[in-house]
Structure 1
């Protein structure tokens, strides 16, 4: 469904991605693990068109994305919930949600998606008229995911959804990601919480300084001693 071939990305003179290859099949949850600065967010931003590829290809169902602009990529069915949530704090929950739907012309579809998201996140429904800036961190994370889902994506890119959240909220966010996936949305998950991400995902990629150093089924990565040592705090 999504294929990245030999992708290079530069920030000025610095190369952030050194020719990575990555693929995502329809219906999967794929996680990308790695330390800060490994290139995980850059990879998601390149898929979205927020940063440009200096070399290589990004294909979505065989169609090149790396030559397209960000808003076109959203309308093709790829949406991101960014790191740091990035909600519009002076707008209400409902207004933030509507901004997510800006590429959709079908009013019935917008309404159907909105109902589904308020079902997924009842807390957002209760607070739909509240300013997003007054929400808790967990509620803002729900809103960031909800806003991305309003674009009716076939692939949802999640960048650090559990960052800064209490453990009980992390579990709830991950449960919701599983539900979203069961509704036919393919998920690419960048996550510091490696254990939770690998328990959720089908497959995982491990990045180090702009390279993919390992790719395997999520269960195999969970049991890999090197991964346990580097990302899971030792053994079981």
Structure 2
């Protein structure tokens, strides 16, 4: 098992956002977390990468606790996030954004190889490498956010709403790329509003409601679950 969350609680001030969730991710899997806005999905990702601290419970990577480790050291341990809303550095170029993603690496050859692979995944970024990130389209910024996250050579990639606000053709392209990334050996946790696309891509899924995990199963079972269909998939599955 690569990652395990055990009885994880997270508070924002007096408000408890996560009420003791348990979640596992195995090496090489794509695991999706589904749920409405405010369910606690982003908080879960932010707690894994150290941006918010657990008030109780444990986060284990390879069986070792990481919930007390500072966020920049969690990147060094092999966990990287492409955040919701992309959050690229708008006044820096595509290339500069990518290089910032490699801040934990000192091996220049490895950085160059990573960059080459990412430009191969996203040829549009190669075309735009000298352009300011703030002038890119939404789809290009999403590619850059994922590319920047990959520059640190992660073992576990956290993707928070990668399809949000994108045209359907770009959504398909982003999901195809996530599949390619996974085939290369990366483990992925995918938080996604587009539940059908996420479940078709994932091995397993968790459903969150107001800070609790209410359902966990393999992706095919969740896709055919009538409650999931009515809540997240707009009625009957196709």
Within 5 Å, give how 1:8-157 maps onto structure 2. Answer: 8-157=9-158
Q: Distance in 1 between matches of 2:186 and 2:128?
A: 25
Corresponding residue for residue 214 of structure 2: 213
Q: Distance in 2 between matches of 1:16 and 1:65?
A: 20
Q: Indicate the SS of the match to 1:79.
A: strand
Q: Distance in 1 between matches of 2:227 and 2:105?
A: 45
Tell me how far 1:62 sits from its aligned partner.
1.0
In structure 1, the gaps of 5 or more residues are none
Tell me how far 1:99 sits from its aligned partner.
0.4
Q: Distance in 2 between matches of 1:123 and 1:229?
A: 37
Q: Indicate the SS of the match to 2:117.
A: helix
State yes or no: 1:204 paired with 2:205: yes
State yes or no: 1:183 paired with 2:179: no
The one-character-per-residue Cα deviations of 1:143-199 (angstroms, maximum 9, x if unpaired) are 000000001000000000000000000000000000000000000000000000000
Q: Indicate the SS of the match to 2:143.
A: helix
Tell me how far 1:63 sits from its aligned partner.
1.3
Corresponding residue for residue 6 of structure 2: 5
TM-score (norm 2): 0.99
Corresponding residue for residue 229 of structure 1: 230
In structure 2, the gaps of 5 or more residues are none
Moved over 2 A (4+): none
Tell me how far 1:57 sits from its aligned partner.
0.2
Tell me how far 1:133 sits from its aligned partner.
0.2
Q: Distance in 1 between matches of 2:53 and 2:32?
A: 22
Cα RMSD after superposing both structures: 0.3
Tell me how far 1:33 sits from its aligned partner.
0.1
Q: Distance in 1 between matches of 2:122 and 2:59?
A: 32
